[in-house]
Structure 1
Amino acid sequence: MEVLELARWQFGITTVYHFLMVPLTIGLSLLVAGMQTAWVRTGDVRYLKMTKFWGKLLLVNFAMGVVTGIVQEFQFGMNWSEYSRFVGDVFGAPLAMEGLVAFFVESTFLGLWIFGWDRLPKKVHLACVWAFSLATVASAYFILAANSWMQHPVGVEFVDGKPTMNSIWAVLTNNTALAAIPHTVAGTFSVAAAFVVGVAAWHLWRKRSGDDEHRAVWRSSIRLGGWVGVVAFAVLAITGDVQGKLMFEQQPMKMASAEALCHTEAPASFSIMAIGDVADAECEDVKTFTVPALLSFLAHNDFTTEVKGVEDLVTEYEARYGTHYPDDPRLGELAGQPIDYVPSLPVTYWGFRAMIGFGAISAGLGVLALWLTRKGRIPASPWFPRLMLLGIVTPFVANSAGWIFTEMGRQPFVVVPNPTGVDGVWMFTATAVSNLSTGEVWTSLIGLTTIYLALGVVEVFLLRKYVRGGVDGVMPPPADPTHEDDDKALSFAY
């Protein structure tokens, strides 16, 4: 393996792993803030129990997210130093903003929330959880603004061979970012909703017989998670449509690769699935179950628009960006070689469908959970908790598939050319990698993968432990009336 391929594997492994924590943290933090708001407004102890139980799981996941997230920024200096030199003037600003929000606002108010249960007034303590939760969204905003600039560079001028930012406002209000942010946040709600439904369904099924004081907690959690998951999928569909139209304008090759559209079509059909190798030059031959003219509608809101295929786009890209890589020894085997402008069609085609398919399954399970628990019902079948627990996986897969599609679909660029932007503000992934030996990259790849596997075991162990502990594991013991100091019912018992 060459340095470029190893570096991409390392960044892919660490980033996808980190992104397993991110959506659960963001979505669950907002749900927990809502639960605590309900408790403060109504005084219903059910919502207090929900806040403490789900808050405990949130903290475990947040801690792992912080640990794995730190590595992401280190990698820009480790394996992608040439990229960092090229985009540092632009990329550094939103990353610095994210760091300030993440490590100051999130950490400060999270600490106040954890240790302030019996020390702060209720409404002040509630404000802390909202500040922490909204800070996670703001943190995601800055990261997405940075990533969206890579997908659609704006707000820069080309000076001495590098992009120089001339408008931070343009970077932060990039239309690509403004479309990605609500889509991503809706995805976080989908993940958190499935997690809440799965865990609560397991507890509710275990407590289906007899009298259990915590049953209301699990029923309310399922109902909340079910509705949030359904609404989140609706938002994902709407925002995904907006992103598709921007993709048609800004990254036509990604649009074509999402459909494995080898030849230009007008109108263009949408492929539901394919049987065979979509990477074949005649990939349309393996498609089946197509919907006529639907791709044209997704691209431009009508049923007649022409959508360019891979072959025509390759010709355009070669004319604009060259046919061969520079003859630079730092490029290794790619030095002087022809540029392959076609992303991995199997990855983009099936990744796009996995994103949509698993997202729809997750929403469907949310609807099923709402139906089976309607009007106070408690399903008796053992398939109910099993299905809902398996459902936890579906939005995680959808989110990961969506990001893999997004990043793989822009290859061979690490900074995609803006069709209406400044000439020269683009970069090939092959020219972005550091001047390292394969042994050095192998060392960090194996080391980080091993550490991440160990962290995964730790997280699963902790989540399993606190999930099994239920509400009793997070609520303080009943106060002893003979001791005045034991009446602090709001102690977080952490």
Structure 2
Amino acid sequence: MEAETLARWQFGIVTVYHFFFVPITIGMSGLVAIMQTLWLRTGRERYLQLTKFYGKLFLINFAIGVATGIVQEFQFGMNWSEFSRFVGDIFGAPLALEGLLAFFLESTFLGLWIFGWDRLPKRIHLACIWLASLGTVLSAYFILAANSWMQNPVGYTFNEAKGRAELTDFGAVLTNPVTLVTFPHQILACYMTAGALMVAISGWHLWRIGREQSATTEQPTAAERIEPSVTEDDVSTHRWSVRFGAIVMLIAGLGVIISGDLQARVMTEVQPMKMAAAEALYDTAQPASFSVLTIGSLDGSEELFSIKVPHVLSFMATADPNGRVEGIRDIQQAYEATYGPGSYTPNIPVAYWGFRLMMGMGFAAMAVGLLSLWLTRRNRIPTQSWVRLMFVVLPFLPLFANSFGWIFTEMGRQPWVVFGLLGTASGVSPGTTVGEVATSLITFTVIYGVLAVVEVKLLLTYIAKGLPDVTPVEQTDDEDTPLSFAY
């Protein structure tokens, strides 16, 4: 096995692992801000309980996400120094803004939010979580602008003497068509993930309460239906949380569908090979069908069986049901004429199934959101045995859909690390050995495994505790009194 292969595996593992935390952080920060706003406007205790309950889970996820995200920067210098040298002048501006503006914005105001409970005026304290949430969104934008440049290089000139790309138009980088369609698609997917997490956690608590109620007696009184540690207010709070999260899921999911449709057309324009790979479309078609399921040869070059929906791929790619979609073979010939001999076809099975797993899990999550609204209608509490499994599985659907979407995005660009400019094989650090990459790969995998155990343990512990006591913390006017940690 070559160092390049191990380096790609390492970058993929580190990136996908880190990205598990990103959608929850972005989405949950906004939802917590909304719930705290509702508390400030209405004064109802349920919103304060939910703010602190989900705020605690958000903070746990944020902390682990920061720890895993730091490693991302080291990846460029460790195994991809040639890539770093090539794109450094381009990446410097958006990544600097991400660190200096976005990350400092979210970390500073998140710190004020954590320690400012019962210290800061309520409106200023609320502004802190909104600014922290804004920081996560800005961070996403700058990162996506950098990644989109790898998909569709703009605003640069190539310096042949230095062998690297140099920035000429920062505005073009920030307004890259790929960025403009990817950003809303990703942010909405983050809110869909956070909404699913709320449905799952509060839904599980509702299910648990309902099962305990039904186990007490066949005809329980109102007082007997609720265990001593659970009140009627807890039940109504969790039910509201389930329905709120489900509505967020459905609205965000609809936005994901619309933005994804726009993204497919931009992708067809700037990376036609990726669109063809997503469908495993070898021969140019007009109109082109979308295959729900295709079984092909082991190398993916021949179709053995398929279930197709006519005209759908043409509409996705061109906005015309009868539009022409180029196939892999024709695009390969065109690329050879432009870039020289070689294979410009990505891993077809990964692209094909990654695209479908992304969409399939997203649609499944929306279906569960609808079902959750139905199960909690008219103050009902779901008690069916299968509901527990549904709530346990739910958060993984949009979370894995996010991950498969990014795997498709990055794998579908291959063999380019910067489309049309720098091949992946050319971006690897020239002096890195197989042993060095293998050592760091094993080390990161072990460390991340430990962090995963810590994350899951903390989340499960605080989820099981349920809604917190929101009795105000007693404060004094003594300036020497330390700030109270809200959690």
TM-score where L is the length of structure 2: 0.92
Q: CA deviation at 1:274?
A: 1.3
Could you say which residue in structure 2 is the equivalent of 1:307? 325
Could you say which residue in structure 1 is the equivalent of 2:428? 433
Deviations 1:320-339 (A, max 9, x none): 1111xxxxxxxxxxxxxxx3
Q: Is the 8 A contact 2:202 2:241 kept in 1?
A: yes
In the alignment, the residues of structure 2 paired with residue 251 and residue 405 of structure 1 have an alpha-carbon distance, to the nearest angstrom, of 13
Q: CA deviation at 1:279?
A: 3.3
Could you say which residue in structure 1 is the equivalent of 2:315? 297
Counterpart check, 1:171 vs 2:191: no
Deviations 1:250-287 (A, max 9, x none): 0010011000011111111111111343733323x33x
In the alignment, the residues of structure 2 paired with residue 64 and residue 478 of structure 1 have an alpha-carbon distance, to the nearest angstrom, of 28
Q: Is the 8 A contact 2:355 2:405 kept in 1?
A: yes
Could you say which residue in structure 2 is the equivalent of 1:379? 382
Could you say which residue in structure 2 is the equivalent of 1:448? 444
Q: Is the 8 A contact 1:226 1:367 kept in 2?
A: yes
Could you say which residue in structure 2 is the equivalent of 1:233? 253
Q: CA deviation at 1:384?
A: 1.6
Q: CA deviation at 1:491?
A: 6.4
Aligned AA for 2:327?
Answer: G
Match of 1:207, SS state, is helix
In the alignment, the residues of structure 2 paired with residue 245 and residue 222 of structure 1 have an alpha-carbon distance, to the nearest angstrom, of 35
Match of 1:268, SS state, is coil
Aligned AA for 2:205?
Answer: H
After TM superposition, the structure 1 = structure 2 runs for residues 181-200 of structure 1, keeping only pairs within 5 Å, are 181-200=183-202
Q: Is the 8 A contact 1:476 1:491 kept in 2?
A: no
Q: Say which of 260, 282, 285 aligns to 1:265.
A: 285
Match of 1:214, SS state, is helix
Q: Percent identity?
A: 55
Could you say which residue in structure 1 is the equivalent of 2:75? 75
Counterpart check, 1:322 vs 2:340: yes
Structure 1: segments with no counterpart, 5+ residues = 324-338, 418-425
Q: Say which of 445, 455, 463 aligns to 1:459.
A: 455
In the alignment, the residues of structure 2 paired with residue 351 and residue 444 of structure 1 have an alpha-carbon distance, to the nearest angstrom, of 27
Q: Which moved more, 1:383-392 or 1:65-74?
A: 383-392
Structure 2: segments with no counterpart, 5+ residues = 214-224, 478-482
Q: Is the 8 A contact 1:278 1:345 kept in 2?
A: no
In the alignment, the residues of structure 1 paired with residue 258 and residue 153 of structure 2 have an alpha-carbon distance, to the nearest angstrom, of 24
Deviations 1:121-177 (A, max 9, x none): 000000000000011000000000000010001111122332111111110011110
Aligned AA for 2:75?
Answer: Q
Q: Is the 8 A contact 2:354 2:407 kept in 1?
A: yes
Match of 2:20, SS state, is helix
Q: Which moved more, 1:290-299 or 1:210-219?
A: 210-219
Q: Say which of 325, 347, 350 aligns to 1:347.
A: 350
Aligned AA for 2:334?
Answer: E
In the alignment, the residues of structure 1 paired with residue 476 and residue 273 of structure 2 have an alpha-carbon distance, to the nearest angstrom, of 70
Q: Is the 8 A contact 2:280 2:300 kept in 1?
A: no
Could you say which residue in structure 2 is the equivalent of 1:214? 234
Q: CA deviation at 1:375?
A: 1.5
After TM superposition, the structure 1 = structure 2 runs for residues 323-338 of structure 1, keeping only pairs within 5 Å, are 323=341
Task: Count residues in correspondence.
Answer: 462
TM-score where L is the length of structure 1: 0.91
Q: Which moved more, 1:51-60 or 1:390-399?
A: 390-399
Q: Which moved more, 1:84-93 or 1:95-104?
A: 95-104
Could you say which residue in structure 2 is the equivalent of 1:113? 113
Deviations 1:14-45 (A, max 9, x none): 00000000000000000000000000000001
Q: Which moved more, 1:372-381 or 1:28-37?
A: 372-381
Aligned AA for 1:255?
Answer: M
Moved over 3 A (4+): 276-280, 476-480, 490-493
Could you say which residue in structure 1 is the equivalent of 2:58? 58
Q: Is the 8 A contact 2:118 2:473 kept in 1?
A: no
In the alignment, the residues of structure 2 paired with residue 22 and residue 45 of structure 1 have an alpha-carbon distance, to the nearest angstrom, of 29
In the alignment, the residues of structure 1 paired with residue 234 and residue 260 of structure 2 have an alpha-carbon distance, to the nearest angstrom, of 38
Match of 2:196, SS state, is helix
Could you say which residue in structure 1 is the equivalent of 2:89? 89
In the alignment, the residues of structure 2 paired with residue 153 and residue 248 of structure 1 have an alpha-carbon distance, to the nearest angstrom, of 15
Could you say which residue in structure 1 is the equivalent of 2:182? 180
In the alignment, the residues of structure 2 paired with residue 291 and residue 215 of structure 1 have an alpha-carbon distance, to the nearest angstrom, of 45
Deviations 1:396-437 (A, max 9, x none): 1100000000000000000013xxxxxxxx100000000211
After TM superposition, the structure 1 = structure 2 runs for residues 400-415 of structure 1, keeping only pairs within 5 Å, are 400-415=403-418
Deviations 1:188-222 (A, max 9, x none): 01110111100101111222332423112211110
